């Protein structure tokens, strides 16, 4: 693509920056955004002047997840449409997954620069990157696991281990960026005012190294992940999400959306979870409204 509608693409000093540019939607991802992100990543990978890439967002959030109000109406790829049949559903999930895997599959290193909300599809994008650096007050969660299905891609296991992967994806509860760094979702968390500088200084260091060597050292680690089943698990995640879409609870979600619309349906669902937070250290004591309180 010679120009982009949903993202900004910047290149200088041995780096490319891919910037989600839908601040009014908290950088929710529609089909066009996914395709542009994939195209920009592979373009950076083919450019000898680029040694590494940062993905970040304009406005209050890194990425608030999939744009469920715009996803179906955005320009579609040629191929199957609809999700009435489980195989058609899996086909669509896998098509999106192939786009999201670009950050993992490309040769050069990719940093996710996470601030504000990093929700649902935002976590998918971040976890396919090589490094995640967060603002310490970022909010990270996968709320659709509460009623919309299973995770359509799943790298949580490889970053945070089985118990935290279950704790957070079984409930859709959120953690802060600081907590994300503590359990391994992120490499580190820094104060929001220092996030840009933290990422840029690492890009400076990557820019001093032959990108062929960066590629060799990235790819051997990713091959290790593949030997641990990371790629196979993604295919299984697509099949599992398609199956989960048939669950009674998911059918209730679709009925609620028909009655209330997406925004009100989400608010009604999430109200039962109070502040929707988990706590990495210390007991989770909650008030009558489900909000965490200090012990």
Helix (H) or strand (E) holding 38: helix 31-46
pLDDT of residue 79: 52
The DSSP bridge pattern shows strands 15-20 and 7-12 to be: antiparallel
Say if 18 falls within a structural domain. yes
Say if 1 falls within a structural domain. no
Q: What is the CATH number of the domain that holds 194?
A: 3.90.226.10
Domain count, the chain: 1
Say if 220 falls within a structural domain. yes
The answer to whether residues 151 and 241 touch, using CB atoms and an 8 Å cutoff, is yes
pLDDT of residue 204: 98
pLDDT in tens, the chain (295 residues): 458 999 999 999 999 999 999 999 999 999 999 999 999 999 999 999 999 999 999 999 999 999 987 444 333 444 556 556 899 999 999 999 999 999 999 999 999 999 999 999 999 999 999 999 999 999 999 999 999 999 999 999 999 999 999 999 999 999 999 999 999 999 999 999 999 999 999 999 999 999 999 999 999 999 999 999 999 999 999 999 999 999 999 999 889 988 998 889 999 999 999 999 999 999 999 999 999 999 9
Say if 145 falls within a structural domain. yes
The answer to whether residues 141 and 276 touch, using CB atoms and an 8 Å cutoff, is yes
pLDDT of residue 69: 74
pLDDT of residue 22: 97
Q: Virtual CA dihedral for 225, 133, 162, 272, nearest 10 degrees?
A: -140
Q: In the chain, at which residue ranges do the beta strands (DSSP E only) sit?
A: 7-12, 15-20, 52-57, 110-114, 117-119, 131-135, 139-141, 175-176, 188-190, 285-286, 292-293
3-state secondary structure 130-182: CEEEEECCCEEECHHHHCCCCCCCCCHHHHHHHHHHHHHHHHCCEEEHHHHHH
Say if 158 falls within a structural domain. yes
Say if 2 falls within a structural domain. no
Range of the domain at 64: 7-293
Residue 149's φ and ψ, nearest 5 degrees, are 140, -160
pLDDT of residue 78: 42
Q: Rounded CA gap, 275 and 269, in Å?
A: 12
pLDDT of residue 118: 98
Say if 194 falls within a structural domain. yes
pLDDT of residue 158: 98
Q: Quote the pTM value.
A: 0.94
């Amino acid at each position: 693509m010679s120009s982009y509608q949903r993202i900004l693409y910047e290149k200088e000093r041995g780096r490319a920056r891919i910037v989600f540019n839908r601040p009014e939607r908290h950088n929710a991802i529609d089909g066009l955004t996914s395709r542009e992100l994939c195209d920009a990543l592979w373009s950076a990978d083919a450019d000898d002047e680029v040694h590494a890439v940062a993905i970040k967002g304009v406005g209050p959030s890194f990425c608030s997840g999939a744009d469920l109000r715009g996803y179906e109406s955005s320009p579609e790829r040629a191929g199957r449409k609809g999700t009435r049949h489980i195989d058609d559903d899996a086909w669509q999930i896998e098509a999106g997954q192939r786009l999201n895997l670009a950050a993992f599959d490309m040769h050069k290193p990719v940093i996710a620069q996470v601030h504000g909300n990093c929700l649902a599809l935002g976590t998918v994008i971040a976890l396919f990157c090589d490094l995640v650096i967060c603002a310490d007050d970022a909010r990270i969660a996968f709320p659709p696991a509460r009623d919309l299905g299973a995770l359509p891609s799943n790298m949580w296991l490889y970053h945070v281990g089985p118990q935290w992967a279950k704790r957070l994806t079984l409930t859709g509860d959120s953690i802060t960026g600081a907590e994300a760094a503590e359990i391994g979702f992120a490499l580190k968390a820094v104060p929001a005012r220092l996030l840009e500088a933290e990422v840029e200084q690492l890009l400076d260091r990557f820019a001093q190294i032959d990108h062929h060597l960066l590629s060799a050292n990235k790819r051997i680690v990713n091959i290790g992940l593949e030997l641990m089943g990371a790629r196979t698990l993604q295919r299984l995640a697509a099949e599992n999400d398609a199956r989960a879409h048939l669950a009674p609870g998911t059918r209730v979600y679709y009925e609620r959306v028909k009655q209330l619309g997406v925004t009100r349906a989400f608010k009604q669902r999430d109200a039962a979870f109070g502040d929707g937070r988990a706590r990495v250290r210390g007991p989770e004591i909650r008030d009558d409204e489900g909000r965490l309180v200090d012990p």
